[in-house]
Amino acid sequence: MHYATRNHALAPATRWVLEEGRLQLEDGKGPPRVVPLGWVRELRLDFAPTRPERNRFRCRLKLFNGETLTFFNRTYAGIYDFRETSAEYVAFVSALRDALARHAPGCRFIAGAGGVSYFFNVLTTVFIFGCFAAIAWFLFVVGLTWMLALKLLILIFYVPVLLRWVVRNRPRDFAPAAIPRAAVSSPVRAGCRISLTS
């Protein structure tokens, strides 16, 4: 099983190869890097959208030495040009999860953001909505309704992604046999069936 992706402009295109008991990273810049699956202490799946990538999902593997390996459900092709690879991503994550369950018995399976990160993002979200309400009231009082309408349009565009982040990234552990639906791209959209929970 393999998965090819490029994380960003400064990272090389990498082919992730899953073999019995090990993960191999091939980037064409020398011999492949081999990571025994027994080194993996944590697999974390989360929803990680950006302004140009509103449907980006991330898989992070934390190794015994604290190092983190990361890949996404899309590949970088150029400036503001990302090719979605959700079907391959979901299939690879599913195979990786199964392999880790066999070869890394101490591995923790986590969905969502880290607890501190999630708390501060929710706090920031509440603060932003509070600021928007105050600004909206001020604009209405001084008669700048055209500016209020403009701000509402911007809010309507970004709020769905923000709310999806809050809902999908609630931190929680999951059993290796069932990846939470919110932690990866939709299996229907990705064209791949794996065991998912809500």
pLDDT of residue 109: 94
**pLDDT (tens digit, 9 = 90+) per residue, 17-62?**
999 899 999 998 889 999 999 999 999 999 988 878 888 999 999 9
Q: What is the pLDDT of residue 169?
A: 82
Write down the pLDDT at residue 196: 32
Tell me how far CA of residue 166 lies from CA of 47, 156, 160, 163, in angstroms.
9, 16, 10, 5
- 23 CB contacts (<8 Å, ≥6 apart)? 16, 17, 34, 35, 36, 37, 40, 61, 69, 96
* Residue 174 CA: distances (Å) to CA of 25, 27, 58, 157, 179: 26, 31, 16, 32, 7
According to the model, what pLDDT value does residue 193 have? 32
Which positions of the chain have pLDDT values less than 70? 178-198
